[in-house]
Amino acid sequence: MIGRGQLPSLNALRAFEVAGRLRSFSRAAEELGVTQGAISRQIKLLEGQLGIELFHRLATGVSLTEEGDKFLPVLTDCFVKMTEASASLRDDPFRLSIGAPPSFGMRWLMPRLPRFQAEHPRIDARLTITTDDIADLAGFDAGVHYGATPPPGLHALKLAGERLVPVAAPRLIDDPERPLKTPQDLARHTLIDTVPDRRYWRLWLQVVGHDSVTGERAQVITILDMALRVAEQGLGIAIGDVAMIADDIALGRLVAPFPVEVPSGFSYWLVARPEASARPKLRSLFRFMEKEARATAALKLKPPSVP
């Protein structure tokens, strides 16, 4: 048994944490770059120091004992905190790395970063556009998460609730053959969605009471920018989030023929680790983005003007 004030071997604790998390001595050996025998010896050492068995050794592999199952999450949490604490010591107080999904990153976040930089010239904000899930914030100080709720355990700010609205080329409003005067007129147009199951169009049409409308044709273009460019050419009617299409409407490239905004139930969240959110650079980012989020929430589209 270990005495008061003593700790087991750190190498042994690490070997147990990895083997317990992976439920395998061989996989733990691969992760730590040692032999399976070394993992087994370290865990035997730890069991001796603690005076308990942590694993059941079976012919088919290993499984945690009741004591091992209780010990593992505590130990995993400790290693995570040590890793985060070590990272914070190396953290550059003026470099701010942000990860964001493509459409929101390019159409909402990127245009706002120059204003953030102007207000905080000492902070070097670097945006990475990525399709990877950034819920674990690996390599980032902050990230943008798309979902009904933010990932659990993270400090979060709601940047924009997704509000769906159809958009079209301005000339289609009074097209002599296929004008867009009522939602029923959509039946004579190609409806462009950005998700394969076309749930955004189905949701919007259901809410406005025209769920029987299917469109003359349906197209799926998963990249919002491409979907909007196709709509801009008059080749279909796209559906998108108000927060990301407002600039196209303000510049006259697109119009919202039926400016009925339908919430999708999903939002974009700015997230950071709780222990890092108090750092000055992140406090500055969250304060700035909170103002931008309020402005986005207040944004309202107007019907297209009639010449």
pLDDT at position 2 is 43
Indicate the helix (H) or strand (E) that contains 56. strand 55-58
Q: pLDDT value at position 88?
A: 57
CA triple 77-285-107, angle to 5 deg = 110
Summarize pLDDT for 141-169 with one digit per residue, the tens.
999 999 999 988 899 999 999 999 999 99
Does residue 177 surpass a pLDDT of 80?
yes
Greater pLDDT, 214 or 263: 263
> pTM above 0.75?
no
Q: Is the pLDDT assigned to residue 136 strictly greater than 80?
A: no
DSSP annotation of 99: E
Q: What is the pLDDT of residue 302?
A: 73
Mean pLDDT of the region 84-103: 76
How far apart are the C-alpha atoms of 64 and 160, rounded to whole Å? 44
SS3 4: coil
What Å distances lie between residue 145 and 134, 267, 270, 280, CA to CA?
A: 7, 8, 6, 22
Q: Span 191-199, mean pLDDT?
A: 92
Band of residue 91 on the pLDDT scale cut at 50, 70, 90: low
d(CA 163, CA 201): 12
Residue 293 CA to residue 147 CA, distance in Å, equals 16
Token pair for residue 165?
């609205």
Check residue 299 and report its DSSP letter: -
Count of CB atoms situated within 10 Å of the CB of 294 = 9
Residue 256 to residue 115: CA distance in whole angstroms:
28
Query: pLDDT tens, 21-75?
Result: 999 998 888 888 889 899 999 999 998 888 899 999 888 888 999 999 999 999 8
**Helix 10-22, helix 25-32: angle, nearest 10:** 120
pLDDT of residue 121: 94
Cα maximum dimension of the chain: 89
- What does the pLDDT read at residue 281? 95
pLDDT surpassing 90 at residue 235: yes
CA–CA distance, 63 with 44 (Å, rounded to integer):
14
CA distance 51 to 153: 34
Give the mean model confidence (pLDDT) for residues 249-261: 91
pLDDT at 41: 92
- pLDDT value at residue 86: 58
